[in-house]
Amino acid sequence: MPHQKIFTHIFTLLILTASLITSPLVLAKASTLASIQKSGQLVLGTSANMPPMTGKNEEGKVVGFDIHLARFMADGMGVELKIKTMPFNKLLSALEKGEVDVVISNMTMNPKRNLKVAFVGPYMTSGKCVLTKKEGLAKAKAAENLNTPDVRMAALKGSTSADFVKALLPEATMTLVDDYDDAVSLINEDKIGGLMTDYPICLSILKRYPDEGFVSLFSLLSYEPIGIALPAGDSLYINWTENFLGRLAGMKALDQIRVRWFGEANLSPPSN
């Protein structure tokens, strides 16, 4: 298939350059990269509950856009990818403790998170959307139309969507969920009115449940740059990842991954 050939070429190019990028001399002062090289593994932290960015298939294997990106990253280092799944709100803590080497999990780069960890990116930009079956929510024109106690909104624990609801919809009734399937069930049971999440997640749920009657309201009040989280203070590791991501973008590989996981859908939120 064309996509497989493109990915094969990308792998080859990355691997050919890996010996130069990650030579022992270059890594002498880079503790994280040196540790990755010594162990032969890049340990990825991800929540695996945000398909198609990061989720599990029917066999229980962790797959998705973010996993695809992480495998490219591991290949560029000449090591294997080891995946650790954990709740989204535990990921950055695990990174700070050195339990994982990198976090790629549909994570928005924001100032609060950036105080503790480094970010490289964005590799995708997004915005907020509300997934609902209720006509009133779907037709809301501004945040104030949703800012009432009667509006019951769900958001993923530890996400910027939860922060978004708290900040812009303080009067709304918010339910925190562990994963998006829980939110879909709550909407179907009429226990909540809608789910606040990121635009790619809305696209995924609409695609996965085409006959459920879901509709989306896209917000223009949020800019969501999605990035790769790395340990703070490791300048060479950060520089390596910047160059790696720039190389993928320059080779149009990120576009190919998007097509693989989202089809030809436009991943930029509507402008009006």
The runs of H, that is alpha helices, within the chain are 2-21, 31-39, 65-77, 91-96, 111-114, 135-138, 160-168, 180-188, 199-208, 235-250, 253-262
pTM score, whole prediction: 0.74
Q: Note the pLDDT tens digit of each residue in 8-27.
A: 455 545 544 444 444 444 44
Res 238: pLDDT: 96
Q: Beta-carbon neighbour count of residue 264 at 10 Å?
A: 6
Sign of CA dihedral 197, 137, 185, 270: negative
Alpha-carbon gap, residue 191 to 111, rounded angstroms: 33
Model pLDDT, residue 26: 47
Question: Domain 128-218 belongs to what architecture?
Answer: 3-Layer(aba) Sandwich (3.40)
Q: What is the per-residue pLDDT for 19?
A: 41
Residues 231, 235, 237, CA angle at the centre, nearest 5°?
65
Query: What's the CA angle centered on 202, arms 136 and 125, to 5 degrees?
Result: 120
Name residues whose C-beta falls within 8 Å of residue 9's C-beta, 6 or more positions apart in sequence: none
| Largest interatomic CA distance in the chain | 62
- Residues 112 and 33: their CA atoms lie apart, in Å, by 25
> What mean pLDDT do residues 107-130 have?
92
Residues 6+ apart with CB under 8 A from 26: 236
Give the pLDDT confidence score for residue 206 in this predicted structure. 85
Tell me the pLDDT tens digit for each residue of 67-79: 999 999 999 999 9
What angle in degrees, to the nearest 10, is found between the helix axes of 65-77 and 253-262?
150
What's at 70, amino acid-wise? A
How high is the pLDDT of residue 7? 54
Instruction: Say what percent of the chain tops pLDDT 70.
Output: 82
Average pLDDT score, the chain: 84
Whether the domain at 2-124+226-262 and the domain at 128-218 fall into the same CATH topology:
yes
- Predicted confidence (pLDDT) per residue in 180-228, tens digit: 889 999 999 999 999 998 888 888 888 888 888 888 877 655 778 999 9
Q: Is 146 helix (H, G, I), strand (E, B) or coil?
A: coil
Does the structural domain 2-124+226-262 have CATH classification 3.40.50.620?
no
Provide the residue ranges of all domains of the chain, joining segments of one domain with +. 2-124+226-262, 128-218
Q: Which of 30, 68, 31 is nearest to 46 (CA)?
A: 68
